[in-house]
Chains A and B, each alone.
Chain A
Amino acid sequence: MKHSFALSLALGSGWLLCPESLVIAGNNAGQLGWLTLPLLAAVALLFAVCGRLLNNPLLPTTDSKEFQILQELTGTIPAAGITIAACIPLVVLAATALLVTSGYTFNEVFLYWFPNFGFSFLLLVLLTILQFFPEKTIFRAQVCFAALAAGGILGLALYGITGGEKTVTKILQQPVHFSSASPALLFLLFVGSTLSWNKQKPSFLVPLAGFVIFFLWILASLAYVTPERLASSTIPYMTAARKIMGDPGRQIMGVIVISGTCAAITSLVLLSRRMLAEIISEEMTTGLLTEKAQQWIFPPLIALSTGLLMATGLAGDELLEVLLRAALILWLFYYSFVCLSALIWIKKKSQPISLPAGIGTLILMISLFTLVINNPHTIEICIFIFSTLGISGLLAAVWLSIHKKFNTQMETTV
């Protein structure tokens, strides 16, 4: 499917614009100071290189190329298992976390008498209803969400940079506390940015846009907030917005948080729907769960799971942060595995592997390892990753075997 320039950007940058990404960027800026900027450029470049690798003409050109690449290397069931494990937990956990954050933001910035949880559920219902509309409407809404969030961040950042008292020299003099864990977190900003829904567009499009947005935002944040405050804050974006523009800054940030949440959830649900559609289109030629049918089944299931997690109080539990981090790492595992499989695919065609792509994939895998071992909840993260992969593999096996039986019965009847 051919997408416009704005839509490709909006779909790929959904996660980039969410409050979770703003926290990662803010905390990193606090810890690493100005060093965050070149590191961010390096990470964006790496994703652009990996995106270029997946656009290699030797790889399949269909919409389902990631699944086909994985399938070639691991077989159908493991490929389906990894795909399911990467998308479902991420979309459910991210939706839970982001909706709760949006609820608090709405309550504290706009309407203090409106219950935060009420707003979270309202937003969940509205975003689920949106998924039932024709794809064109969802895409239009996604462009609006992303434009609102990106425009807000850029506006605040430019206002701050042009009107700030601190100069670039002062930012360069701020302390830098380097640790391997911090730069690895920057990889989590680009979740879903270079998958094949952007294949008609240059692979650097979303990473470049992400780099520009965060470059300006980090510069403005460092110019107004002390690095210690940025590093320790749980809402560095709000602290920076307030310092930059006072109460109007808070209100703009409130709009950014809510529209960024909508953009992230919509793009993650669309990405997951597309990833599941890849399995369906490759392995399920008829009947049981067609691409059209899963549009009506998948979003309500996601909404139900998210609603249940919110209602059971997971938002008030530290466990949510651990699980969300694990789900993001699992997605990075999926992405690096797709890149590795693409390299092997190209090698099998007796073609030379591009050195930057090889190095990029290697760095992705190292960052994955760093993110797991540097986390205080390494064991819990490993348990989550392995159990999710196991359960998803089992689910994929059952799903595909039921469908195979269904197909055989259909053929016999015909």
Chain B
Amino acid sequence: MKKILFLLSLILLIAAPSVFARDVPIMSKDDLNAQLGSDKLVILDVRSGRDWSSSEFKIKGAVRAPGSELAKWSANYKKDQTLVLYCA
């Protein structure tokens, strides 16, 4: 029983970040396409290391902003800007 409880806690702990992540709005491909070219739109590629370098698909004009350095780059943007983060 203890083992099962431990496993369940572990799964909950692992799943927690993705549950909280649901609060962040998700933009569809079509919505993004419609907004491309807008001054207020900033596309941020949060992939780093090999996740970024091995990928063939990079959105034109996207700015690299590694997720681990959020505090560093988030200050560079104004609150009225639309920040679109993508990681895959």
Give A contacts to B, CB under 8 Å: 97, 100-101, 103-105, 108-109, 116, 234-235, 238, 250, 314-321
Among B51, B52, B54, contact of A105 (Cβ-Cβ < 8 Å): B54
Fill in one digit per residue for B65-88: 1 if any A CB lies within 8 Å of its CB, else 0. Answer: 000100000000000000000001
The residue on B at minimum CB distance from A310 is: B50
Report if B35 contacts A (CB, 8 A): no
Whether A316 lies near B47 (C-beta < 8 A) is yes
A315–B51 touching, CB < 8 Å: yes
B49 within 8 A of A: yes
Inside 8 A of A116's CB, which chain B residues have their CB? 88
Contact between A108 and B49, CB atoms less than 8 A apart: no
Q: Is the beta-carbon distance between A234 and B51 smaller than 8 angstroms?
A: no
Nearest B residue to A318, CB-CB: B49
- Within the complex, what minimum Cβ distance (angstroms) separates B37 from chain A? 24
10 tightest CB-CB pairs across the interface, nearest first?
A234-B53, A104-B54, A101-B54, A316-B51, A316-B49, A315-B50, A317-B49, A100-B50, A108-B56, A318-B49
A317: B residues at CB distance < 8 A: 48-49, 68
Hey, what's the 0/1 contact readout for B30-68 against A, CB within 8 Å counting as 1? 000000000000000001111111111100000000001
Interface centre among B48, B53, B55, B57 (most CB of A within 10 A): B53
Assembled-state Cα–Cα distance A108/B55 (Å): 8
Cβ distance B54 to chain A, nearest Cβ, rounded Å: 4
Q: Does A316 contact B48, Cβ atoms closer than 8 Å?
A: yes
* Residues on the B chain within 8 Å of A104, using CB: 50-51, 54-56
Partner of B49, one of A105, A250, A321: A321
- Asked if B56 and A320 make an inter-chain contact with CB atoms under 8 angstroms apart, the answer reads no
* A318/B54 in contact, CB under 8 A: no
Q: Give the CA-CA distance A105 to B47 in the complex, in Å.
A: 16
Query: Contacting B54 at CB < 8 Å: which of A234, A314, A319?
Result: A234
Q: Which residue of B lies closest to A105 (CB)?
A: B54
Q: For the complex formed, measure the closest distance between the CB of B45 and the CB atoms of chain A, giving whole angstroms.
A: 12
Q: Is the CB of A315 within 8 A of B52?
A: no
Nearest neighbor of A96 in chain B, beta-carbon distance: B50
Interchain residue pairs with CB less than 8 A apart (13): A100-B50, A100-B54, A101-B50, A101-B54, A104-B56, A105-B54, A105-B56, A109-B56, A234-B52, A234-B54, A316-B47, A317-B48, A321-B50
Give chain B residues whose Cβ lies under 8 Å from the Cβ of A318: 48-49
Q: How far is the CA of A101 from the CA of B88 in the complex (A)?
A: 13
**Contact of B50 with A316 in the complex, beta carbons under 8 Å:** yes
In the complex, residue of chain A having the shortest beta-carbon distance to the beta carbon of B57: A108
The answer to whether A320 and B54 have CB atoms under 8 Å apart is no
- When distances are taken between beta carbons in the complex, the residues of chain B under 8 Å from A238 are 56
Which of B47, B48, B50 interacts with A97 by CB under 8 Å? B50
Which residue in chain A gives the minimum CB-CB distance to B47?
A: A316
How many whole Å from B15's CB to the nearest CB in chain A? 16
Cβ-neighbour of A235 out of B47, B48, B54 (below 8 A):
B54
Q: How far is the CB of A323 from chain B (nearest CB, A)?
A: 11
A105 and B53 alpha carbons, distance in the complex (Å): 11
Contacts of A109 in B (CB 8 A): 56
* Smallest CB gap from A235: residue in B: B56
Central interface residue in B53, B54, B68, by most chain A CB within 10 Å: B54
Min Cβ gap A309→B in Å is 11
Q: Are A100 and B52 in contact (CB under 8 A)?
A: no
- For the complex, give the distance between the alpha carbons of A105 and B88 in Å: 12
Chain B residues contacting A101 (CB-CB under 8 Å) are 50, 54
Nearest A residue (CB) for B68: A317
User: Which residues of B have CB within 8 Å of A250?
Assistant: 56
Given contacts A315-B50, A320-B50, 11 further A-B contacts (CB under 8 A): A100-B54, A104-B51, A108-B55, A109-B56, A234-B52, A238-B56, A250-B56, A317-B49, A320-B49, A321-B49, A321-B50
B88: A residues at CB distance < 8 A: 116
How long is the Cα–Cα vector from A314 to B48 in the complex, in angstroms? 10
Task: State how many angstroms separate the Cβ of A65 from the closest Cβ of chain B.
Answer: 36
